[in-house]
Chain A
């Protein structure tokens, strides 16, 4: 059983990491805890569901569609809501409250448009092969998710370090004022970040919709709670931390279920969160992220 549980932990961890990547990116660059990330995650899932079940597209097209659709919603949230609050220099808790409102609007809209009932993506869009390695069962999708999260993380890190835009983003993350003074178009960077983060969230939504066979309006909410735990564990704003935090939480939950008892699962997530906040708020894997304004 242990080998299978380890694989379970790995795939669950990658699921969490996928969600957390976009979530932590927004905090890193914009300095905002974007509690509407769960909603854009859900939007991506519905976008893919409509593309596949409604328009008959393949999974590749559906994922791309989800990425763009969620990304656009992310930019809209930034332009319509967050930008005004930036201009006002609102204390950072205010944007967080505003994103809560945005999430409620999006979730209710989804419920109004699609109904509260569960849906799923059509069976045919991905392969359902189950690979057996000794005692261990792994589906093609899980392998795909593990690969996707690793690739995304590496791509993000490389982009942030290697490209000009990436360096611009890091400069803004460090200090928007300083970046502005150096001539970086800070607002554009914010829009870009919002697009990428929300797009990532949307893609995560599609993959998790496939993984769990469930698309429903509140699917982002429980993910959001876990996402918060992940970015605290991993260090807020830290890309590598999102991956490591996600994996850590995934393993912790699975092993708690396997060896302590399934009721301890959620307690583990939030208990860890608490402990980390009390002892090392910058995260287990974070590198002491200090934002200078």
Chain B
């Protein structure tokens, strides 16, 4: 057992980070599944991280309270922000959510008294245990799997395929989009809270454009058709720098190449259950 303990001591954080990144990639999947590209998830991660960390560190509240805040506050912000912005389509929405990310960052920097400003929040108690992450991930996967099969899930699918037709069928487009956006925000916030209580410190510059691109790359690499896609993408992109330790100089460039090559040559990402099913000559996907 000594070897497992050593393994965990060395690599534990890496495994947990992969789990947290999976949550983040799934949060993007949610909005992509509904036909939107929402870059705001990194910002929601930040809001969740700050909300939970401020409660546990500055006010000494117990972890469950912090986690709850880390989920509810971003969800509330997503709701408030989503209502007006989701009317926008495609590119405009992407721009708006990008700008939102910057606004959150600027707020975190300026609200010094609460967030510590540019200096960030230090001394966050390391409450996150491995089972928190596992529980969160499993619960999310099961929950979303059930959602996909439900009427709501089919509505998401319909909106993604053809928004006009979906609205003809009586589906409440705005409502569903908002639901996907809020749920995605809540998930990202959860991931942020878990992450904050694992790394002792958070700063405002961690949740900006770079983080957004990172999460997006994971979702796209893994593929957004099936639920496991984002998880695979997240695990791969978290472990890759470790496996390629020697190529550290080229880490960023590899990320960029992955993004371009996947978009060009592997548009559905790595995990494409439908394509695989037909490949193995089975019945057509349900």
**Complex A–B touching at CB under 8 A:** yes
Q: Are B103 and A90 in contact (CB under 8 A)?
A: no
Per the CB 8 Å criterion, the residue count for chain A at the interface is: 41
Q: Is the CB of A104 within 8 A of B96?
A: no
- Chain B residue numbers with a CB within 8 Å of A155 are none
Interface string of A105-140 (1 = CB under 8 A from B): 111110110000000000000000000000000000
Identify which of B53-61, B230-238, B248-256 touches chain A: B248-256
Of all chain B residues, the one with the shortest Cβ separation from A272 is B99
Q: Is the CB of B85 within 8 A of A92?
A: no
- Decide if B99 touches A104 in the complex (CB within 8 Å): no
Closest A residue to B265 by beta carbon equals A84
Instruction: Indicate if the CB atoms of A81 and B94 lie closer than 8 Å.
Output: no
Classify chain B: how many residues form its interface, as a range. Answer: 35 or more
Tally inter-chain residue pairs, CB-CB below 8 A.
Answer: 107
Q: Is B23 an interface residue (CB 8 A)?
A: no
When the two chains form the complex, which single residue of B91, B102, B259 contacts A100, counting CB atoms closer than 8 Å?
Answer: B259
Residue of A nearest to B216 (CB): A97
Q: Which of A1-9, A173-181, A207-215, A224-232 contacts B (4 or more CB under 8 A)?
A: A224-232
How many Å lie between the Cα of A92 and that of B91 in the bound state?
A: 8
Q: Are B90 and A93 in contact (CB under 8 A)?
A: yes
Whether B263 pairs with A94 at a CB distance below 8 angstroms is yes
A56 within 8 A of B: no
Q: Which residues of A contact B259 (CB under 8 A)?
A: 97-98, 100-101, 104
A188–B37 CA distance with the chains assembled, in angstroms: 30
A221–B258 alpha-carbon span in the complex (Å): 20
Q: Does B179 contact A (CB under 8 A)?
A: no
User: Which stretch (A12-20, A198-206, A246-254, A262-270) binds chain B?
Assistant: A262-270
Given the known A-B contacts A92-B90, A270-B102, A277-B88, are A104 and B252 also in contact in the complex, defined by CB atoms under 8 Å? yes
Q: Known contacts A100-B259, A273-B99; is A85 also within 8 Å of B264 by CB?
A: yes
Q: Which residue of chain A is the closest to B259 with respect to CB atoms?
A: A101
A104-B213 CB under 8 A given contacts A97-B220, A109-B253: yes
Can you give 21 contacting A-B residue pairs, CB < 8 Å?
A81-B264, A85-B263, A93-B37, A96-B91, A97-B37, A97-B216, A97-B259, A98-B260, A101-B217, A104-B255, A108-B253, A221-B209, A225-B98, A270-B106, A274-B100, A277-B95, A277-B99, A278-B85, A278-B96, A281-B88, A281-B92
A101-B258, A101-B263, A270-B103 known; 9 new pairs, CB 8 Å cut-off, are A33-B94, A98-B263, A100-B259, A104-B252, A107-B252, A112-B253, A225-B209, A273-B96, A274-B99
- Chain B interfacial positions (CB closer than 8 Å to A): 37, 84-85, 88, 90-92, 94-96, 98-100, 102-103, 106, 110, 209, 213, 216-217, 220, 249-250, 252-253, 255-260, 263-264, 267
The 3 tightest CB contacts between A and B, nearest first, are A101-B259, A104-B256, A101-B260
